[in-house]
Structure 1
Amino acid sequence: MLTDDQRRRYEAWIVAVSPRAIAYARSLVRDPSRAEDAVQECLYRLLRKAADYDLERDGVRILFKAISNLCINQATREKALLSLDLPTGADDGPLEIADHTALRPELVAQHRELEETVRQALQTLPPLQRAAVELRALGMSKDEIAEALGVSVTNAGVLVHRGRHALAQALRPAIGDKVPEENV
């Protein structure tokens, strides 16, 4: 049974970690509800074994590894379904932009085209490369990426490098040589 102090510490830890965990899971599964479900499942499993771990020290590393494993397993086991309907989601709502000059139709169209190109380019990456690139974009080090994906540090670096290179190649027709590969 948890003490009140442990319960408060665990709740604070979950509140602090959840947004990053959900963002990472969403980048892997591309469905907000499935991402939240995956994070909740991983948090539930982790909290059931909380007595075995020091959550404040090792919890983020363990959680991200669990999310990686669960999402990659789901992605590689399920077959993609095609739909004739347009996808709908939270992104389809009105844009909230502070600079109203950015609302010019051609800029909005360019932004949407670039977002779609990036999304499609990410989808073409193998799951481990996509996960490595997403984790790097979240600010994780190669050591943390290696731990989360269950690979060596060298392999984590290779996955990030190859993923960035593939993204740069895929984005080259859309943006030209404007952005160096290390900024992808």
Structure 2
Amino acid sequence: MLSVRRAAEVLELFSVERPHWGPTEVAAEIGVAKSSAHALLRELEHAGLLEGMACGRYRLGWRLAELARTMLQTNGHSATVVPVAHELAHELGETVHFAALDRDRVLYVASIVPPGGVAAPRVPVSAELTPLGQVLSTEHRGVLVGPQRALIGVTCAATALRVRDEPTGSLGVCASTERFATQRDVYARALGATRKRLARGVRE
């Protein structure tokens, strides 16, 4: 079990900001000997989860993309929620996120950004920084409105989702703070109606 935990620690080091890691850096970061770090990296490479580079460092492997695709295709909630998120973005003309909580971080499973919509965060963010995480980490009922503090000048309305009585993540509408102020009630009502549709597991 310790080796599995160590492998997970290694994989979590990789990010958009730091996509490449070598044995020396990994050893220092997770607190193991360089030889142990090298062995972990080689095992993850053998499993296809990492890819060795000519410079001796490693980057994430394609096997992770395959696993993510399989998860999304076999997760009934994703198959139900993502199409509805596209419909909502088209209806409102604003960015819509479908997000999940990974410990204390918000993972953006799908972000639909129509022309003129605000950008999506490029990396997972702390749950406390966005209503999409707050409705999950605090078990908030209904629609929560607040700033998306991971991005400047963006406000979001978010609601926690249940599909056929199973928790499945959160759905949020995000817009520039200035535009959001004029459409706040519209976004909140649309999210509330969408939450009810998804709770029944029905696409109307």
Instruction: Give TM-score, length-normalised by structure 2.
Output: 0.26
| Bigger helix share | 1
| Bigger strand share | 2
Greater relative contact order (Cα 8 A, min sep 6): structure 1 or 2?
1
